[in-house]
Chain A
């Protein structure tokens, strides 16, 4: 896997100091269970940021807070300079946050093309009336969007399944289609929840390549949760480590790998 990003580019971004997303002292609990407690970290513009941690560490909860599925009890989220307590899900989309899910969430009966077009619908300006007529400006708009979608299909190398119902596809390809749908929203920040889960080696390599290319060529900032350590260390510019809802480490992959708390969290501690 030859996907490690260019360190020069990272330092440029950090030098810019352009913080895209800043999570400040966020806490979230369900009844008595603290899913996330007092977590702070930031995501710089243009970087690939990984959130890792053992099962139940609060990674997915963290993503859900960022894109407005959950509302944090405490803390604030600053996205593109705007501070807020909670973000509504549709607001998050409007602000340029797209995501994929741990368990693929696609329209199973629809084709690959239609699924990705659906991701595009948030950007369609014509109202439902015109769209139903499929005429005049709505048609022109659809043609334009279709071009963008075809570029995504080409990018993800899924031409051969363009018209296949997604439910019939193997899991690895479904994940790719889901990434395509998220890309169709042209997000500023892309949240990926375990993009490699359940994939074989070849599929992982393909997915890693796509993630790096999205980041480089489309300039999309990416925050991802992933269990596969090899992938995380290869892809990410910086890694934040959660354990039992708390942040235990934050920094470049090599530093995190050497961190004692991280090793303990993953391998367990002798008591």
Chain B
């Protein structure tokens, strides 16, 4: 920690940290990547060599100060090196979601005016070339993986290797070239834009969030110190590189603290890679923890009776004492002994299987996380905490301290962040990493900035008595039922999504008589149940409409209503009618954002007929839905969906009904 707090404190760009790390942590690993089944490593000195050679090669290709360089692909060392290589020239990296369909990618590349694109492989080259006529600014594409690209027109295509080799040759030919490059890095201004991150577009078109270099480093420096991250820590970078979370938690924190960042072999091998790397710092959105719990639960149900008993027993013990032990609160000796035993037979092996053996700090954010789900991981001894952040803040707005962790709040303000609640309940903040503005959209920047320099989050929330921030919902989504009762759709959806069989839910009710919902089953969980019960199905659609499945979901909705009925504010939002959808909500159809958040308004429009059917009392409804495949082709699916009535709970029931009538 001392080393970070020393000379490195004054640095104001990431490439400056690269130079510093190459001397202070020269032999420490900076990057790992599993290739051909073996973990390849680069230390900081080698990482500097890679970045410098590529950067000089880029300059040779014509990259200048202020140019935008789009970066498209999965988590690969070369793509991460591109960030620093671009920043070293004063160019601005613009990461783009690799799974974006051509249309979305065209918008971002065009809007950013990218002159260069560094992409992973043929698939991305094809995608970009399919709309090249709409992005006249784009001059050159550089690819990492040459496979399949041999026969392409080489006029605007270059391999990463060739560009880097060119840079390497120039350094070899002229020993001054490397020195000049380093001088330029040292002389760079912290006022430059460090990175431009496009928002996922939960509401409308995505916007280019410009983050200043000095601001980015300042914010990162604060959180690195907050979590005492050092060069001895490690992470697995597996989240989309276009997302602020990946860029901040992995790239930025790695440069500032000097820790090692590992890239998985492929998206499918992440669980195995996690186990092999055993990171000390980990981030995952709630849905990843959900699916982990789902797969653990499924595997336990397939286990022998004795193992099941053992698991249930010790998870019970963990529930009772685990969190108290983690937070170093007093626990009776018998509890400690039972927990230690459980740790030996269940918790430690389970942590190992999940790749969590060495975790010191884990975060989740992005959405509310179920209390039981949150406690489950904490009780296993994993220091899981919550943070609340935004792209506009360069991530952190609030963060929970070790030992002061709860599932229903997101913590006090992060270091050096000011937060206030506006009169209408909206959360506003001012932070060291806050953005410069939206690229080419000054009026939108003005919309989210207050006169005195605070940024409006668009989220409704309040501080509870412990000083932790509680987010209720997007402030514009919080509505009221016809009866006047508060309706917070996200809260209802999260209650439903707590059940492993329910993957996604969308609640409706603003200005309506009662609350109704669309539900997506979880194919993994329900499919496994079907297998164990010898229920045959040929497709998602068939499984989702199976009478037995509907019965299960009906049970879940009933129980969700029971939970809602116990909360004073939410009792009126019990789900009276619901539909189990025939297709999974999908980002390719625009129903989810690329970060997999539900786009409620879009769904309401797209499935308008179904919503009407929910409220007009009919018991089934025929629909035709257009679906988009990943390559942009379209198809149609047809289904007749059942509309079900769920049991309602609570003494308030009658009163609520009267109020509605």
Interface of A toward B, CB cutoff 8 Å: 6, 147, 150-151, 153-155, 157, 159-160, 162, 209, 213, 216-217
Q: Given A151-B36, A159-B37, A160-B269, 14 other A-B contacts at CB below 8 A?
A: A150-B36, A153-B36, A154-B35, A154-B36, A157-B266, A159-B268, A160-B265, A160-B268, A160-B272, A213-B147, A213-B148, A216-B150, A217-B147, A217-B150
Query: What residues on A are CB-neighbors of B266 within 8 Å?
Result: 157, 159-160
Partner of A153, one of B37, B147, B151, B272: B37
Query: What residues on B are CB-neighbors of A216 within 8 Å?
Result: 150
Q: How far in angstroms is the closest Cβ of chain A from B205?
A: 30
For residues 125 through 150 of chain B, which have their beta carbon under 8 Å from a beta carbon of chain A? Answer: 147-148, 150
- In the assembled complex, 18 residue pairs joining A and B whose CB atoms fall closer than 8 Å, in A order, are A147-B36, A150-B36, A150-B37, A150-B38, A151-B36, A153-B36, A153-B37, A154-B35, A155-B147, A157-B266, A159-B265, A159-B266, A159-B268, A160-B265, A160-B266, A209-B148, A213-B147, A217-B147
Q: How far in angstroms is the closest Cβ of chain A from B167?
A: 26
Interface residue count on the B side (C-beta < 8 Å):
13
Query: What residues on A are CB-neighbors of B269 within 8 Å?
Result: 159-160
Query: What residues on A are CB-neighbors of B265 within 8 Å?
Result: 159-160
Bound-state CA distance A217–B145 (Å) is 14
Query: What residues on A are CB-neighbors of B35 within 8 Å?
Result: 154
Query: What residues on B are CB-neighbors of A217 within 8 Å?
Result: 147, 150
Query: What residues on B are CB-neighbors of A150 within 8 Å?
Result: 36-38
Across chains A and B, the number of contacting residue pairs, with CB separation under 8 Å, is 29
The verdict on A6 contacting B37 (CB below 8 Å), with A157-B266, A159-B268, A160-B269 known, is no
Bound-state CA distance A237–B268 (Å) is 34
> Looking across the interface, which residue of chain A has its beta carbon closest to that of B633?
A201
Bound-state CA distance A217–B266 (Å) is 22
Q: How far in angstroms is the closest Cβ of chain B from A148?
A: 10
Query: What residues on A are CB-neighbors of B150 within 8 Å?
Result: 216-217
Interface of B is mostly: loop
Query: What residues on B are CB-neighbors of A147 within 8 Å?
Result: 36
> Looking across the interface, which residue of chain A has its beta carbon closest to that of B38?
A150
Bound-state CA distance A199–B151 (Å) is 29
B258-301 CB mask vs A (1 if < 8 Å, else 0) is 00000001101100100000000000000000000000000000
Q: How far in angstroms is the closest Cβ of chain B from A37?
A: 41
Bound-state CA distance A160–B238 (Å) is 14
> Looking across the interface, which residue of chain B has its beta carbon closest to that of A9?
B151
Bound-state CA distance A155–B35 (Å) is 12
For residues 91 through 149 of chain B, which have their beta carbon under 8 Å from a beta carbon of chain A? Answer: 147-148
Query: What residues on A are CB-neighbors of B37 within 8 Å?
Result: 150, 153, 159, 162
Bound-state CA distance A217–B147 (Å) is 9
B28-60 CB mask vs A (1 if < 8 Å, else 0) is 000000011110000000000000000000000
B9-41 CB mask vs A (1 if < 8 Å, else 0) is 000000000000000000000000001111000
Q: How far in angstroms is the closest Cβ of chain A from B634?
A: 14
Q: How far in angstroms is the closest Cβ of chain B from A154?
A: 6
Q: How far in angstroms is the closest Cβ of chain B from A206?
A: 12
Query: What residues on B are CB-neighbors of A209 within 8 Å?
Result: 148
Query: What residues on B are CB-neighbors of A155 within 8 Å?
Result: 147
Bound-state CA distance A147–B265 (Å) is 16
Q: How far in angstroms is the closest Cβ of chain A from B371?
A: 33
Bound-state CA distance A154–B269 (Å) is 12
For residues 433 through 489 of chain B, which have their beta carbon under 8 Å from a beta carbon of chain A? Answer: none
The verdict on A6 contacting B151 (CB below 8 Å), with A159-B266, A162-B37 known, is yes
Query: What residues on B are CB-neighbors of A159 within 8 Å?
Result: 37, 265-266, 268-269
Bound-state CA distance A209–B151 (Å) is 15
For residues 228 through 277 of chain B, which have their beta carbon under 8 Å from a beta carbon of chain A? Answer: 265-266, 268-269, 272
Bound-state CA distance A25–B37 (Å) is 48
Q: How far in angstroms is the closest Cβ of chain B from A163?
A: 8
Bound-state CA distance A159–B74 (Å) is 15
Q: How far in angstroms is the closest Cβ of chain A from B453?
A: 48
Bound-state CA distance A212–B485 (Å) is 62
Q: Which 5 residue pairs across A and B have the least CB separation, nearest first?
A: A160-B268, A150-B36, A160-B269, A159-B265, A150-B37
Query: What residues on B are CB-neighbors of A162 within 8 Å?
Result: 37
Bound-state CA distance A162–B37 (Å) is 9
Q: How far in angstroms is the closest Cβ of chain A from B531?
A: 13
Query: What residues on A are CB-neighbors of B148 within 8 Å?
Result: 209, 213
Bound-state CA distance A155–B266 (Å) is 12
Q: How far in angstroms is the closest Cβ of chain A from B267?
A: 8
> Looking across the interface, which residue of chain A has its beta carbon closest to that of B271?
A160
Q: How far in angstroms is the closest Cβ of chain B from A162?
A: 7
Query: What residues on A are CB-neighbors of B272 within 8 Å?
Result: 160
> Looking across the interface, which residue of chain B has its beta carbon closest to that of A155?
B147
Bound-state CA distance A216–B272 (Å) is 32
Query: What residues on B are CB-neighbors of A160 within 8 Å?
Result: 265-266, 268-269, 272
Bound-state CA distance A104–B35 (Å) is 28
Q: How far in angstroms is the closest Cβ of chain B from A78?
A: 32
Interface centre among B37, B148, B266, B272 (most CB of A within 10 A): B37
Q: How far in angstroms is the closest Cβ of chain B from A209?
A: 8
Bound-state CA distance A120–B495 (Å) is 53
Bound-state CA distance A154–B268 (Å) is 13
Q: How far in angstroms is the closest Cβ of chain A from B147?
A: 7
Bound-state CA distance A217–B35 (Å) is 20
Bound-state CA distance A153–B265 (Å) is 12
> Looking across the interface, which residue of chain B has its beta carbon closest to that of A150?
B36
> Looking across the interface, which residue of chain B has its beta carbon closest to that of A205?
B631
Q: How far in angstroms is the closest Cβ of chain A from B36?
A: 4
Bound-state CA distance A153–B578 (Å) is 45
Bound-state CA distance A159–B36 (Å) is 8
Bound-state CA distance A157–B36 (Å) is 11
Bound-state CA distance A209–B268 (Å) is 20
> Looking across the interface, which residue of chain A has its beta carbon closest to that of B267?
A160
Query: What residues on A are CB-neighbors of B38 within 8 Å?
Result: 150
Query: What residues on B are CB-neighbors of A213 within 8 Å?
Result: 147-148
Bound-state CA distance A106–B134 (Å) is 48
> Looking across the interface, which residue of chain A has its beta carbon closest to that of B37?
A150
Query: What residues on A are CB-neighbors of B268 within 8 Å?
Result: 159-160
Q: How far in angstroms is the closest Cβ of chain B from A46?
A: 15
Bound-state CA distance A150–B37 (Å) is 7
Q: How far in angstroms is the closest Cβ of chain B from A268?
A: 30
> Looking across the interface, which residue of chain A has its beta carbon closest to that of B146?
A217
